[in-house]
Amino acid sequence: MDDLLTDRHPHFDSATRRALQLDTLSAILPMERRDRLAELLTDDDVATLKHLAREGMGENTLRALASDLAYLEGWAKAATGAPLPWPAPESLALKYVAHHLWDPAERETDPLHGMPAEVATELREALLLRTEGPHAPSTVKRRLANWGTLHRWKGQEGPFHAPSLRAALRLAVRASTRPRQRKSKRAVTRDVLDRLLATCRSDRLVDTRDLAILLLAFASGGRRRSEVARLRVEQISDEPAVPLDPQDPKSPTLPCLAIQLGRTKTGIADEASRVLLVGPPVEALREWLERADISKGPVFRAIDRWEAIEERALTPQSINLIVKRRCAMAGLEPQEFSAHGLRSGYLTEAARQGVALPEAMQQSQHKSVQQAASYYNEAERAQGRAAKLGL
């Protein structure tokens, strides 16, 4: 349809044509940035993104690819005066590393070290560059990886396995003085969660919704904000009630339901991507759905000032802002928390409560044992004797 539309209106300039084509990806890409993306991306870039969407690439992955591709296009134009070439030469990849991983101390004696001032100025004016110093090594590595992924999808060989690039990246990361930043400075562990939940104890519809969001996001294994935002009623199914004490035949039971996650950041849509909710999170979710009269479509929706519920689903950014707003209401520092704190908090709390790592990973759907185990290691160190020797 979009191709027919642009064919019928040949007077559209290239940016407008790309904006119309990006409309077909509106369910995936951050469409509040559609016009900016249309200016940065080329026709070939948009065609590649549409192809990846048709191939069923995950929404988060495609969104990250689009964002990184737009940045690389903007940087290449500022640094070389030309669009991003395909395939990229090894020299351009090396230039990218040199422009983004550099030593501030060396910059004081050598003004040519790192990203040139005119390149940085152009990127800031285009709202592509926010940091004043070198980039985080994780950001540089991710963009290089996505750059390589796009090469492979285009059927081209990139320079990303070249020994010179690997050596330059390794040395630059080693020389970097920038510490690795967590997505949330602090984890939303159970004690923090209880403070957030206490701000939701009222009859206001927004409080009922936010209570369900917080409990579901935490208890379902620390769901990513994108997974919470796009959750639909059709993904939820009732399960038999479970006994509070499995060893007691007369034990009271707790309500239970299942969430079919579908496609996640690291997985695909299959039966294995399923998590269970038991007890209070189930009750909170059911109360929200009943009060909001939602029987199909998006579970968590925007509410206007008159408490009218909108048809549209909340965005991932809205989930993040809800967490920060509840932190402020609870007397916590909002800048120290983000929605990802629910994910890290779930695993941290699981470690504190003695839940086995494989069992916690089954609920959180982590694929990397190393990543999940890092929360367990930190919890154990904080509670161990070695960290308390100075007492």
| Domain range annotation of the chain | 87-175, 190-332
Q: What is the pLDDT of residue 321?
A: 94
- Residue entry with tokens 């993104």: 49
Alpha carbons 375 and 359: distance in angstroms, whole number: 14
Looking at residue 336, its amino acid is E
40 closest CA partner among 12, 9, 18, 64: 18
Q: What is the pLDDT of residue 102?
A: 83
Alpha carbons 237 and 81: distance in angstroms, whole number: 55
Query: What pTM does this model have?
Result: 0.58
Q: Which fold has domain 190-332?
A: hpI Integrase; Chain A (1.10.443)
Q: What is the pLDDT of residue 108?
A: 79
* CA trace torsion 182, 259, 229, 311 (10° rounding): -170
Alpha carbons 315 and 326: distance in angstroms, whole number: 17
Tokens of 159: 């320079």
CA distance readout (Å), 159 to 62, 87, 135, 370: 22, 8, 21, 28
Long-range contacts of 285-292 (CB under 8 A, 24+ apart): 285/212, 285/215, 285/216, 285/236, 285/257, 286/255, 287/208, 287/212, 288/208, 288/209, 288/211, 288/212, 289/233, 291/205, 291/208, 292/205, 292/208, 292/209
Q: What is the pLDDT of residue 289?
A: 97
- Per-10-residue mean pLDDT of the chain, 391 residues long, equals 41 54 50 60 78 71 83 93 92 92 81 89 88 84 90 87 87 65 74 95 95 94 89 92 88 91 53 80 96 94 90 90 95 90 88 79 72 63 52 51
Q: What is the pLDDT of residue 10?
A: 46
Contact criterion met (CB below 8 Å) for 295 and 309: no
Q: ∠ CA(55), CA(266), CA(257), 5° rounding?
A: 105
Q: What is the pLDDT of residue 104?
A: 79
